[in-house]
């Protein structure tokens, strides 16, 4: 256990040093390609660092804080807000996933996955149905991120169950949107 505590301390010293570096890069470089290249090593490092911890409590928590919270905050400057908005009052899957459940992740995935895929799909398919591919892509990315978090927590080979859950919800939500458009 002593080795795990030492690893934990070293991981968090590295995290704070990396965040200081990112803060400095933010002050020096304007938004754009140069800044992205300058912080790319930190992004890679933040995926690697949790692998130095073997316990669920230290590894899982560290993985959550640096792979999700820190990277989204550093990369796209998301301000954190309440996580949920009375999800038990949802009237549809669209209402549940889009406006009530895990609002922080919705606000991260919308500009990073949904909007870019939407702009591409509008050029390829009819505008009426252009929202369906971005919905599926967003749930695919969410499933991949959940698989990554579960891997970092348990260090077990992903089974794909979590990915299937999110893809099922993505398909169901796409069907709901399609039915509403008919």
- 51 and 116 assigned to the same domain: no
- 171 and 94 assigned to the same domain: yes
Q: Of the candidates 16, 47, 77, which is a domain's last residue?
A: 77
- 103 and 163 assigned to the same domain: yes
Residue 113: give the domain boundaries. Answer: 82-182
CB-based contacts of 2: which residues, under 8 Å, 6+ apart? none
Q: pLDDT tens digits, residue range 26-67? A: 889 887 778 878 888 888 888 888 888 877 777 777 877 777
- 130 and 161 assigned to the same domain: yes
- Tokens at 96, concatenated: 């549940």
- 54 and 69 assigned to the same domain: yes
- 86 and 143 assigned to the same domain: yes
- 62 and 86 assigned to the same domain: no
Question: Could you give the CA distance from residue 56 to residue 119 in angstroms, rounded to a whole number?
Answer: 40
Q: pLDDT tens digits, residue range 60-106? A: 778 777 776 666 665 566 565 678 899 999 999 999 998 999 988 88
CA distances from 122 to 13, 40, 111, 125 (A): 45, 30, 16, 6
Average confidence (pLDDT) over 168-181? 95
Long-range contacts of 44-50 (CB under 8 A, 24+ apart): 45/14, 45/18, 46/15, 46/18, 46/70, 46/71, 49/11, 49/14, 49/15, 50/11, 50/152
The pLDDT value recorded for residue 80 is: 59
The pLDDT value recorded for residue 23 is: 86
The pLDDT value recorded for residue 44 is: 85
Q: pLDDT tens digits, residue range 120-144? A: 999 999 989 999 999 999 999 999 9
Calculate the average pLDDT of the chain: 86
Q: pLDDT tens digits, residue range 143-164? A: 999 998 888 777 788 899 999 9
pTM over 0.85: no
What is the torsion angle, in degrees rounded to the nearest 10, for the CA atoms of residue 99, residue 104, residue 107 and residue 109? -110
């Amino acid at each position: 256990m002593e080795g795990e505590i030492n690893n934990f301390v070293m991981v968090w010293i590295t995290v704070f040093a990396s965040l200081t570096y990112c803060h400095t890069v933010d002050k020096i470089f304007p938004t754009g390609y140069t800044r992205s290249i300058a912080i790319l090593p930190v992004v890679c490092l933040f995926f690697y660092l949790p692998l130095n911890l073997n316990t669920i409590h230290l590894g899982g928590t560290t993985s959550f804080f640096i792979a999700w919270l820190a990277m989204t905050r550093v990369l796209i400057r998301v301000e954190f807000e309440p996580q949920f908005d009375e999800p038990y009052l949802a009237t549809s899957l669209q209402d549940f996933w889009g406006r009530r459940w895990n609002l922080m992740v919705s606000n991260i995935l919308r500009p990073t996955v949904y909007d870019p895929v939407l702009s591409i799909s509008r050029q390829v398919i009819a505008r009426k149905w252009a929202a369906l591919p971005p919905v599926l892509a967003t749930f695919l990315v969410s499933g991949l991120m959940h698989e990554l978090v579960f891997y970092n927590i348990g260090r077990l080979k992903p089974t794909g169950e979590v990915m299937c859950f999110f893809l099922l919800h993505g398909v169901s939500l796409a069907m709901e949107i399609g039915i509403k458009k008919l």
